Structure 1
Amino acid sequence: MTEHLNRLTPRQIVFELDQYIIGQNDAKRNVAIALRNRWRRMNSPEDIQREIIPNNILMIGATGVGKTEIARRLAKIADAPFVKVEASKFTEVGYVGRDVESMVRDLVEQAVGMVRTQKKEEVKQKAEQAVEDIILDALIPPVHGSSAVKIKADNNTSEVMPEDDAELNQRTRERFREKIRNGELDSRKIDIEVQQNQAPNVGMIGGAMDDVSMMNIQEMIGNMMPRRGKKRKVTVEEARKILLDEEASKLIDMDEVKLEAIKKAENLGIIFIDEIDKVASSRSGGGGGPDVSREGVQRDLLPIVEGSAVNTKHGVINTDHILFVAAGAFHVAKPSDLIPELQGRFPIRVELNSLTESDFYQILKTPKNALTKQYVAMMESEGVELEFEDGALREIARIAFEVNSEVENIGARRLQTVMSLLLNDFMFDIPDVIGADSHIVVTADLVSEKLSALVKNRDLSQYIL
């Protein structure tokens, strides 16, 4: 688990984040240190490991400046399970809906999925061999002793090949195995049997039951009921895809997967709590109303962030070493409006800067997933070449920054609106009017022509998302 983190030094982590996120160097440095500290803890003496608690981070900044993207990219770099939740979802009085522990259960589900995928990849070669055998059995049933080989054809008839013994049958199967591997039989239709899980949807009459108990009951009843096979007639190519996942699942030990997933979630999991400022109550207000609900949410969050045992369908998970990253704009409330106990659990405070016109230009040009590169790729799929001149990128950045300043600052998300309005006509005309092998050049004049009138118009409702 720690081998991958060993290669990620703080500078390397910041370098990786720089490939997708412009600016916000202070936030990048802090999350890089927090991630490296996980490796440092897991490689510390055992008697002190439990005592080293994560430095949870509170990000303060307006929407669209990169708070969520930093946390999400950090999880991808670390190959760690990641869950994003919105604190405002827990503000209802009585918490009708999801309870705060659901974020931990979601994290475990993410970890189980990651470990299961990894294990399936490890047994992929064996699973492919098993799938080939199933497909071969459907095409050429194995024989023992003197018999005849029947090869099933598409029209439900059989091509009969006389044989003397099973040895020749085996050689025929191997020849067909090569044909399957080379894709020569991909269009041949065969009958396969697919396992179906008969787990029912269970409802309870009477008192309320928590999510974990309900999931456990459904899983228990599902395991008691026999699995039924369903016959399907599909092509060899489709059969390979359908059967591969099924055969790989048979080769992995799910008990081992669950244990490893819980360990991964406990030591590497990242939970991003967005809009935490929405549950901060004003200290100057009275003692009732919505503030009571908000403070109740904070008190429910506190034991999870402090470290507690949460029961999930895959086992009990301790949250002591999960990294929590909270974020909020804090336009109205302040971090000090959070209850003191919760404030103390987010010792690292990072204030993210508002994006400048220069930042917008770099966001359009530099990241690996830049919007300009996304549009180039989409048009390339239609055979159309799209090119952005440097002056056009600067004009797009200027307009996006101006609209943010005059209407509502939604950060980098404004670029999506501006780019969509700029290129929508082209996207609509491809491929009916603008055919393949066309070359579109986006110039500064084109950007001004399409967008300048909208900027001058003070009624910018089209921009507000």
Structure 2
Amino acid sequence: MSDKDSQEPTDQLPKEIRDLMKSSPFKTFFVGKSEKNPDSPAEDDQGAEAHEETLKRIQGFNLKPREIRDYLDRFVIQQAEAKKVLSVAICDHYNHVRQCIENPSLREIDYAKQNILLLGPTGVGKTYLMRCIARLIGVPFVKADATKFSETGYVGGDVEDLVRDLVKAADGDVELAQYGIVYIDEIDKIASSGSTTGGGGRDVSGRGVQINLLKLMEETEVNLHSQTDLAAQMQAMMEMQRTGRSRKRTINTRHILFIVSGAFDKLSEQIKRRVQSSSIGFAAGAAGAVAAARAHVTHDSDFLRLAQSRDIIDYGMEPEFVGRLPVRVACQALTAADLEKILVTSEGSILSQYRADFAGYGIDFEITQPAVCEIAAQAYQENTGARGLMTVLERVFRNFKFELPSTAVKAFRVDEKTIAEPEAVLCSLLRENAQKQHEVLRADVNAFAQRFQTDYGFELVFDDGAVDVLIEQSLAADKTIRALCEDKFHNFHHGLKLLVADDGGDGSKRFVITRDVVENPDKAISRWVVERFKKTS
């Protein structure tokens, strides 16, 4: 094959192949975002506008660390030190991004990134902090769970997929993606299983995942398409066919900020043993320093604030990996008082979510302060942090959410008794509204009649006796009026059609439903047919 043949443009390919490329679901891979796509100029314009908008947002960034901290305070209770560290890191990162965009020569200068390690027990707000920051920041941001990765990428994901996802988050804009932020949760789950503490580690590939991650956190070139990406390989082949050379498509991770977090469940026990042993046999000054550090410890997880690199390495993390995370901050365990504040003051309170759930049915509830305290106390006993609040609220409101939407109740009160005995309170509430409930059930009967007329063209008029028996059967069988009526009258329209047909099409389509009809619809139809036959014979 000559050089000329190897550089044959795509336009000279057989028409069948060109048509296949145009109709392929992978079309966007054949025509990259950075190349001109004559079939979608509007898409190119939209991408350029989004790029300019993001650049303007970054260049106009003027938040101070305290302002970011204040924003996080609206959603996350406590964790003052973590908020401080994250606020400073975000501001520093934004400022660095802005400087690199304004002066591209700065990109080649070594930059010591403040990659962050967040430690803390489950449910204290580590992930929620990052979720709130993701809403605030303007640079590309991706979140992933460390447990989904494997060393090879054949079983589970490849760690380089994180960077590729960052490019996707930037709508294919590599220039913006190289200044993005990557957040990895559950990082402690990839601790090597051979750690001296036996602190954890899911399998032997954990060490390999750490090694691959540390390369990303330092600086490396990542191919924008993985080796297993068939569409990307086809794109490269088409580009080689068109230009005679392949274009390098990589992204450098030098300026990407990495934030990782993990519960490190048994690390606090390990640090506690170290601190206790270090206070034995030391000089008075050293022992005094240890005692001062321990004075602020109210929960075993608070020992995480005393974590040193050696502790994290002994837990099963690679020394080089730990070295790539120079900024470390421990989140404190939440007290019952903290959980109470979350319910009452946090903008993201789970209590607000439950209010919205009930509001969807037109129901509101009032909750007393003693009830809030009791919910927080029970949630604290769950020992799962803020997640314990949902456990308690679900236990309390489960049957309320199931029963009340089908009743006349539009408001109720939650007090200490409701938290202690939700079933008894619900039964009492339903008894108090029994009369109103009959009105609701009557309305349900009328609603069924209206649907029946819409679907089949027959008007069913339920008299008082029929309505009463339907209500009685509904309550006795714990079944809704709709389900009860659909079960009783599911073939009723066939009999009514026979009645109308026997009248030569001139019969009335209005039928009165009595108690007897409700109790045995098939028998009623048979009786009506016989009566109609006698009249016409």
2:206 maps to what in 1? Answer: 294
Aligned: 1:318 with 2:252: yes
Change (3 A) 1:312 1:57: same
Aligned: 1:335 with 2:309: no
In structure 2, distance between residues paired with 1:296 and 1:364: 42
**By how many angstroms is 1:264 displaced?**
2.4
1:274 maps to what in 2? Answer: 185
1:51 maps to what in 2? Answer: 110
2:361 pairs with one of 377, 382, 385: 382
2:72 pairs with one of 17, 23, 26: 17
**Contact kept in structure 1, 2:190 and 2:202, CA below 8 Å:** no
**Contact kept in structure 1, 2:150 and 2:156, CA below 8 Å:** no
The one-letter amino acid of 1:20's match is: F
The one-letter amino acid of 2:338's match is: D
1:163 maps to what in 2? Answer: none
Change (3 A) 1:290 1:394: closer
**By how many angstroms is 1:91 displaced?**
4.3
Which of 312-321 and 418-427 deviates more? Answer: 312-321
Which of 327-336 and 101-110 deviates more? Answer: 327-336
**Contact kept in structure 2, 1:20 and 1:367, CA below 8 Å:** yes
**Contact kept in structure 2, 1:91 and 1:279, CA below 8 Å:** no
In structure 2, distance between residues paired with 1:290 and 1:73: 29
**Contact kept in structure 2, 1:277 and 1:335, CA below 8 Å:** no
The one-letter amino acid of 1:25's match is: A
Change (3 A) 1:317 1:392: same
In structure 2, distance between residues paired with 1:74 and 1:295: 29
**Contact kept in structure 1, 2:150 and 2:158, CA below 8 Å:** no
Write the deviation string for residues 64-104 of structure 1: whole angstroms up to 9, x where unpaired: 11111111211211133322222222247775232111111
1:245 maps to what in 2? Answer: none
**By how many angstroms is 1:292 displaced?**
4.3
Change (3 A) 1:52 1:2: farther
**Contact kept in structure 1, 2:141 and 2:182, CA below 8 Å:** yes
Aligned: 1:351 with 2:330: yes
1:421 pairs with one of 395, 399, 410: 395
Aligned to 1:14, the other structure's residue is in SS state helix
**Contact kept in structure 2, 1:2 and 1:39, CA below 8 Å:** no
The one-letter amino acid of 1:101's match is: E
Change (3 A) 1:433 1:30: same
The one-letter amino acid of 2:156's match is: G
**By how many angstroms is 1:285 displaced?**
8.3
Question: 1:184-195 alignment to 2 at 5 Å?
Answer: none
In structure 1, distance between residues paired with 2:396 and 2:203: 44
**Contact kept in structure 2, 1:72 and 1:82, CA below 8 Å:** no
Aligned to 2:365, the other structure's residue is in SS state strand
Scaled by the length of structure 1, what TM-score is found? 0.59
Aligned to 2:175, the other structure's residue is in SS state helix
**Contact kept in structure 2, 1:376 and 1:387, CA below 8 Å:** no
**By how many angstroms is 1:389 displaced?**
1.5
The one-letter amino acid of 1:383's match is: G
The one-letter amino acid of 1:294's match is: G
Aligned: 1:448 with 2:420: yes
Change (3 A) 1:349 1:2: farther
In structure 1, distance between residues paired with 2:71 and 2:134: 12
The one-letter amino acid of 1:311's match is: N
**Contact kept in structure 1, 2:93 and 2:257, CA below 8 Å:** no
Change (3 A) 1:411 1:339: same
Aligned: 1:34 with 2:89: yes
1:410 pairs with one of 384, 390, 399: 384
**By how many angstroms is 1:106 displaced?**
1.6
Structure 1 residue runs without a partner (length 5+): 113-257, 453-465
The one-letter amino acid of 1:272's match is: Y
**By how many angstroms is 1:6 displaced?**
2.2
Greater share of strand: 1
Aligned: 1:87 with 2:146: yes
Scaled by the length of structure 2, what TM-score is found? 0.51
Structure 2 residue runs without a partner (length 5+): 1-54, 226-231, 233-248, 268-310, 425-537
The one-letter amino acid of 1:316's match is: T
In structure 1, distance between residues paired with 2:379 and 2:362: 29
The one-letter amino acid of 1:446's match is: T
Q: Percent identity?
A: 38
1:307 pairs with one of 219, 244, 250: 219
Q: Which runs of 4+ in 1 moved over 6 A?
A: none
The one-letter amino acid of 2:400's match is: F
In structure 2, distance between residues paired with 1:341 and 1:451: 56
**Contact kept in structure 2, 1:56 and 1:346, CA below 8 Å:** yes
Greater share of helix: 2
Write the deviation string for residues 319-378 of structure 1: whole angstroms up to 9, x where unpaired: 111111111122235422321211111001101111100111011111112111111122
In structure 2, distance between residues paired with 1:318 and 1:92: 21
Change (3 A) 1:419 1:283: closer
**By how many angstroms is 1:60 displaced?**
0.8
Write the deviation string for residues 420-457 of structure 1: whole angstroms up to 9, x where unpaired: 1111111111321244xx111111221122399xxxxx
Change (3 A) 1:108 1:328: same
In structure 2, distance between residues paired with 1:451 and 1:33: 49
The one-letter amino acid of 2:312's match is: P
Aligned: 1:369 with 2:348: yes
Write the deviation string for residues 267-320 of structure 1: whole angstroms up to 9, x where unpaired: 1x221112221222244389xx97642211111111111121212259422211
In structure 2, distance between residues paired with 1:21 and 1:451: 32
Q: How many residues align?
A: 295
**By how many angstroms is 1:51 displaced?**
2.2
The one-letter amino acid of 1:302's match is: L
Aligned to 1:317, the other structure's residue is in SS state strand
**By how many angstroms is 1:2 displaced?**
6.1
Greater radius of gyration (CA): 2
**Contact kept in structure 2, 1:87 and 1:279, CA below 8 Å:** yes
**Contact kept in structure 2, 1:54 and 1:323, CA below 8 Å:** yes
In structure 2, distance between residues paired with 1:42 and 1:270: 11
**By how many angstroms is 1:43 displaced?**
4.5
**Contact kept in structure 2, 1:41 and 1:52, CA below 8 Å:** no
2:405 maps to what in 1? Answer: 431
**Contact kept in structure 1, 2:189 and 2:202, CA below 8 Å:** no
**Contact kept in structure 1, 2:140 and 2:181, CA below 8 Å:** yes
Change (3 A) 1:2 1:419: same
